[in-house]
């Protein structure tokens, strides 16, 4: 059995969840683990001197729980998928009928700078959009808790720049994607590359 982990990282509202879901629909035997599902409870996330909750840092996430979910998938992808109500089909590649291929898409804004997770990822994509696009898209999204006034400029964007710098110094083989491109174009590009990796 072949197991392949694809990482979809990038800026907030770059289109990570959208791309990951579309990929999952196209790639047989694939499933998604989203970092957004592992935020710690608001009550334990500290605030800075401006009163902004420090959500855009790794310590605001239950990375241990996220890793456990990934390890569950690695141990037995088929059981992981069926237990999440996802269909399993055989085989993925007609040219390698004897081999099952399972694909895990890990998506999130802080995946490549968490070394234990990054080391498991085979293909790394980073969705990039300019400041204005990210801010505009985020303004119509409601998080839990919702962003307080000034949060984007006071916390989200400065932390993004810091985290991105860290990621770029740690990881050399990220493929940058322009998140303002058409959704279909983005999914087709990544799909082709992942299928090429499956065939390899």
Q: Which residues are catalytic?
A: 36
Is residue 165 a contact partner of residue 65, using CB atoms and an 8 Å limit?
A: no
What's the min distance (Å) between Cβ of 130 and ligand ADP? 13
Residue 140 near ligand NCN by CB under 6 A: no
Q: Rounded CA gap, 180 and 197, in Å?
A: 25
Question: Which partner from the list ligand NCN, ligand ADP, none does 137 bind, CB cut-off 5 to 8 Å by kind?
Answer: ligand ADP
Of 145-164, binders to ligand ADP (CB under 6 A) are none
Q: Copy the structure tokens of residue 6.
A: 């694809």
Contact characters 52-71, ligand NCN, x per CB under 6 A:
---xx---------------
Q: Rounded CA gap, 187 and 22, in Å?
A: 7
Closest CA to 124 of 197, 65, 188, 59: 197
Question: Which partner from the list ligand NCN, ligand ADP, none does 183 bind, CB cut-off 5 to 8 Å by kind?
Answer: ligand ADP
Of 93-122, binders to ligand NCN (CB under 6 A) are 109
Region of 11-19, 63-71, 76-84, 170-178 interacting with ligand NCN (CB under 6 A): 11-19
Q: To 5 degrees, how large is the angle CA 85–CA 89–CA 92?
A: 130
Is residue 34 a contact partner of residue 108, using CB atoms and an 8 Å limit?
A: yes
Q: To 5 degrees, how large is the angle CA 173–CA 178–CA 182?
A: 135
What's the min distance (Å) between Cβ of 127 and ligand ADP? 6
Binding site for ligand ADP (CB under 6 A): 10, 12-18, 137, 179, 181, 183, 186
């Amino acid at each position: 059995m072949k197991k392949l982990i694809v990482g979809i990282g990038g800026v907030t509202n770059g289109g990570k969840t959208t791309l990951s879901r579309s990929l999952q629909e196209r790639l047989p035997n694939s499933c998604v683990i989203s970092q957004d599902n592992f935020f710690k409870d608001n009550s334990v996330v500290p605030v800075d001197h401006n009163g902004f909750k420090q959500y855009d840092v790794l310590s605001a996430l239950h990375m241990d729980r996220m890793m456990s979910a990934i390890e569950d998938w690695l141990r037995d992808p088929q059981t992981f998928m069926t237990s999440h109500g996802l269909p399993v089909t055989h085989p993925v590649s007609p040219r390698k009928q004897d081999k099952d291929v399972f694909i895990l898409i890990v998506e999130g804004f802080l995946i490549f700078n968490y070394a234990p997770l990054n080391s498991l990822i085979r293909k790394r994509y980073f969705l990039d959009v300019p400041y204005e696009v990210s801010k505009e898209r985020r303004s119509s999204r409601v998080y839990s808790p919702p962003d307080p006034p000034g949060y984007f400029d006071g916390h989200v964007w400065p932390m993004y720049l810091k985290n991105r710098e860290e990621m770029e110094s740690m990881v050399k083989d990220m493929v940058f994607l322009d998140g303002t491109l058409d959704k279909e174009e983005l999914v087709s590009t990544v799909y082709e590359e992942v299928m090429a990796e499956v065939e390899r």
